[in-house]
C-alpha cells in the first residue's frame, strides 16, 4: 500500500520529466521524482523500531521483586545465584557497618555468610542468614 502511494506521488513528476518541452523542467521533474522515490523506498527498507524515552522504562519486563525471586529460585541449585545473594549480603554489611569492609567479608565471612554457605537446605539457611542480618541491622539502629 505504501509503494502505490509513493508511485502515485511520484507519477506526476515522472510524467513531467517525459512530456515537458523544456530541458530544465524535465530535469526538475526527474530530480523531484527521484528524491520522492528514494525517501519512500529507503523508508521502507530502514524501518527502525523507535521507542520513545518514556516508554522505554515500561518495557523492562520484570520488576525488582520478580528478579529477586528468580535469583532465589535459581540459588537452590546454582552456585552463581548463591554468590549473587552472598554479594548482596556483603554489600549490606559493608554499607551499614563500620567494622566490616566488603573485602574483609569475602576473605573472612561473618556468621550470616558462613550460615549461607553451610550444607543443608538452602532456603532454611537463607532464612536464618537473613534473620541474622535483620538482627544486626536492628542492633546498629539502636546503637546509633
The string of pLDDT tens digits covering residues 49-96 is: 665 666 555 555 677 778 888 888 888 888 888 888 888 888 888 888
Contact call for residues 13 and 29 (beta carbons, < 8 A): yes
Q: Give the chain's length.
A: 144
| Cα–Cα distance for residue pair 74/30, rounded to 1 Å | 64
Q: What is the pLDDT of residue 131?
A: 92
> Does the predicted model carry a pTM greater than 0.75?
no
Contact call for residues 44 and 2 (beta carbons, < 8 A): yes
| Cα–Cα distance for residue pair 3/26, rounded to 1 Å | 23
Q: What is the pLDDT of residue 19?
A: 79
What residue ranges in 12-138 does DSSP mark as E strands?
none
Percent of the chain beyond pLDDT 70?
A: 78
The model's confidence at residue 128, banded by pLDDT at 50, 70 and 90, is very high
φ, ψ (nearest 5 deg) of residue 15: -65, -40
Residue 2 neighbours by CB under 8 Å, 6+ apart = 40, 44
Mean local confidence (pLDDT), 24-39:
82
| Cα–Cα distance for residue pair 88/135, rounded to 1 Å | 16
φ, ψ (nearest 5 deg) of residue 118: -70, 165
Amino acid at each position: 500500500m505504501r509503494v502505490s502511494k509513493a508511485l502515485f506521488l511520484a507519477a506526476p513528476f515522472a510524467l513531467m520529466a517525459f512530456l515537458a518541452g523544456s530541458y530544465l523542467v524535465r530535469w526538475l521533474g526527474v530530480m523531484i521524482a527521484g528524491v520522492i522515490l528514494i525517501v519512500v523506498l529507503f523508508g521502507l527498507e530502514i524501518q527502525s523500531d523507535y521507542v520513545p524515552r518514556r516508554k522505554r522504562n515500561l518495557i523492562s519486563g520484570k520488576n525488582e521483586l520478580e528478579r529477586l525471586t528468580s535469583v532465589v529460585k535459581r540459588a537452590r541449585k546454582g552456585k552463581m545465584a548463591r554468590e549473587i545473594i552472598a554479594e548482596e549480603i556483603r554489600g549490606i554489611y559493608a554499607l551499614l557497618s563500620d567494622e566490616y569492609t566488603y573485602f574483609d567479608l569475602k576473605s573472612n565471612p561473618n556468621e550470616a555468610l558462613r550460615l549461607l554457605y553451610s550444607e543443608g537446605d538452602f532456603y532454611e539457611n537463607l532464612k536464618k542468614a537473613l534473620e541474622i542480618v535483620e538482627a544486626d541491622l536492628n542492633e546498629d539502629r539502636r546503637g546509633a
